[in-house]
């Protein structure tokens, strides 16, 4: 079965602390994975995708096929990073399969 799991509903850190939002997936083919972010009162938007291997707003995510994980990391959290983060898998047909989401709260 195709599934994305984000084990943490809420992650609370202090400004400047490292952040890791966990994502594990189950998929029988070659996965395409994404992180989407939703800031307060804004629409869902793409943060980064695994194939581009880029860093956006200081965030990176590495696909680990052995552990079937795609964790999102940032070395130094900022208050403006507070948002809902969703890990998503795109299947062969093109639809996205989302995890339950993790709310990141960065305290001053």
Task: List residues binding other proteins (CB under 8 A).
Answer: 4, 6, 9, 32, 43-46, 49, 51-52, 86, 88, 93-101
Q: Which is nearer to other proteins, 27 or 86 (CB)?
A: 86
Q: How far is the CB of 22 from other proteins (least distance, A)?
A: 14
Give the residue among 2, 75, 79, 4 at the shortest CA–CA distance from 36: 4
Q: Which is nearer to other proteins, 66 or 93 (CB)?
A: 93
Phi, psi of 52 (to 5 degrees): -85, -20
Query: Taking the complex as a whole, how short is the minimal distance between the CB of residue 108 and other proteins, in angstroms?
Result: 26
At its nearest, how many Å lie between other proteins and the CB of residue 66?
23
Please say which residue, 2 or 68, places its beta carbon nearer to other proteins.
2
């Amino acid at each position: 079965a195709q599934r994305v799991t984000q084990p943490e509903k809420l992650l609370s850190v202090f400004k400047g602390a490292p952040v890791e939002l966990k994502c594990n997936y189950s998929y029988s083919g070659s996965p395409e994975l994404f992180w989407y972010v939703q800031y307060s009162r804004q629409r869902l938007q793409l943060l980064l995708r695994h194939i581009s291997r880029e860093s956006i707003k200081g965030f990176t995510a590495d696909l680990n096929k052995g552990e079937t994980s795609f964790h999102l990391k940032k070395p130094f959290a900022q208050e403006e990073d507070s948002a809902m983060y969703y890990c998503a898998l795109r299947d062969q047909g093109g639809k996205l399969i989302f995890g339950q989401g993790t709310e990141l709260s960065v305290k001053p």
